[in-house]
Structure 1
């Protein structure tokens, strides 16, 4: 059994929330339609809990677009950066993230900011030039958007007690992730090989199945499908962010329109980098507790409890 201080365990705050939810959910039927609806509701609650960093960031960006004064003493981009810092501090102070997990989130921030500096330099997208809290053409809040992805990845790993059947060797995944990251830079000078990289990802991760617990049941899903679903929701969030003028692609400068679905390929590849970084603090574990989607006679482990 994991303890709260370990990567897979719940934080102190999450254990308190878990106890309250479990007391209510335990009285609900285990079988029938009500039992399935309970699983579905808990799945949504856990996903919302895992997304709290990204959701808070997106809410601040949207609110700033709608209500932040154009002539404010503090530039909007600087306000967004300070708000992002406040959210991150609150996550740690409120024990929604551990200091160990914070290391991965910071690494996401650094990796993302480095790519942002390059991409804005070559004109892939752009930000408003206001504010002083920036690195070149990149406001510092941009790195927190990547950090939000990192926060989701480490939180969903423990909230759903993720286990993996036939997970590829980690050194292989690290090589693939490094090639993906390099292609985000080199595709401006040599052949863009993203589709080849997607084929390599399919080959490397194609046999891997993700096992996860919602409440009473353990489910399974092809890992590639999980990557695609997460990439799709990031793409939806990107549409909200660009509509809010957090950043814009060249084709949106004359008027906003939805981000091209082709960007799904980029976010899909970003999932590989994300997963490899998360395995730094939480190595993938094999399934160990019976068939998927079958009620367990024993109580779920704390690491798999309701968020």
Structure 2
């Protein structure tokens, strides 16, 4: 019974952390089956996302520092969207006034919602990192993973090499989290896989409701290829590395131990 109670509490905290993504999915579903007046669907989705972001900050569900992180992810996501749509990886077939080079601006919030989840879960579960690698390793690795989303169109795809490198770099890293007063630990690599898999499930839901469209879904919706898990896994890793790095820097600045980071990692 204790294990069941802990699982329910953990699920509740996760659900609260997913509030922003849930609003996006609900908006996708509602606007698909109930046309809204005056504006195209993509524009309504942008308005809903902007309003939700304002509510999150205004109500204290997100801090201003977290808003800065989420804005960064919005920019990173839009840059990736603009490139991928241009290369024909996927498309946004509907009309909209807020589309830039074929990409609706609301799409950046789908990436920002991942950052929102990470920030919310980090705070609610009181996440701590054990044996976090040095910044000189983490930052170039995150940059290489992100750049590979662009360069594999012109060069070899090194995602599997990068995935192997992630396992090596974070082999000893553990995530410590708290559920209802009890502390648990999980290998960081396992958390990457779990989050990546659930985002793949979310991707299937999003494409079903017309958030975007892959080439094989032009005629009719079909399940997103399981190979996309690797892409989302790497994107989750980039997201986590950015959030974790900012959290660690803020922690060490707050405690006055920034100059001792390397000693702490050792």
Give the TM-score normalised by structure 1.
Answer: 0.79
**Could you tell me which residue of structure 2 aligns to residue 80 of structure 1?**
45
User: How far apart are 1:281 and its partner, in Å?
Assistant: 3.2
Q: Does 1:58 align with 2:29?
A: no
Whole-angstrom distance in 2 between the partners of 1:186 and 1:176: 15
When you count helix as a share of all residues, which structure comes out higher?
A: 2
Task: Please say which of residues 83-92 and 272-281 is displaced more in the overlay.
Answer: 272-281
User: How far apart are 1:164 and its partner, in Å?
Assistant: 1.7
Whole-angstrom distance in 2 between the partners of 1:225 and 1:89: 33
CA RMSD of aligned residues (A): 1.5
Contact 1:101/1:281 (8 A) holds in 2: no
Contact 1:170/1:276 (8 A) holds in 2: no
Whole-angstrom distance in 1 between the partners of 2:135 and 2:76: 19
**Paired residues for 1:100-139 under 5 Å:** 100-139=65-104
Point out the structure with max Rg over C-alpha: 1
SS for the counterpart of 2:184 is: strand
**Paired residues for 1:249-268 under 5 Å:** 249-268=214-233
Contact 1:39/1:216 (8 A) holds in 2: no
**Paired residues for 1:171-250 under 5 Å:** 171-250=136-215
**Could you tell me which residue of structure 1 aligns to residue 58 of structure 2?**
93
Unaligned runs of 5+ in 2: 253-266
Whole-angstrom distance in 1 between the partners of 2:41 and 2:213: 15
CA offsets per residue over residues 220-258 of structure 1, 9 Å max, x none?
111111011111111111111100111010011121111
**Could you tell me which residue of structure 1 aligns to residue 13 of structure 2?**
46
**Could you tell me which residue of structure 1 aligns to residue 244 of structure 2?**
279
Q: Does 1:144 align with 2:91?
A: no
Whole-angstrom distance in 1 between the partners of 2:159 and 2:212: 23
Whole-angstrom distance in 1 between the partners of 2:237 and 2:135: 11
Q: Work out which structure has the larger RCO, using CA pairs closer than 8 Å and 6 or more positions apart in sequence.
A: 1
Give the TM-score normalised by structure 2.
Answer: 0.91
Tell me how many residue pairs correspond in the alignment. 251
**Could you tell me which residue of structure 1 aligns to residue 261 of structure 2?**
none
Q: Does 1:154 align with 2:124?
A: no
Whole-angstrom distance in 2 between the partners of 1:242 and 1:176: 30
Whole-angstrom distance in 2 between the partners of 1:266 and 1:75: 30
User: How far apart are 1:280 and its partner, in Å?
Assistant: 4.3
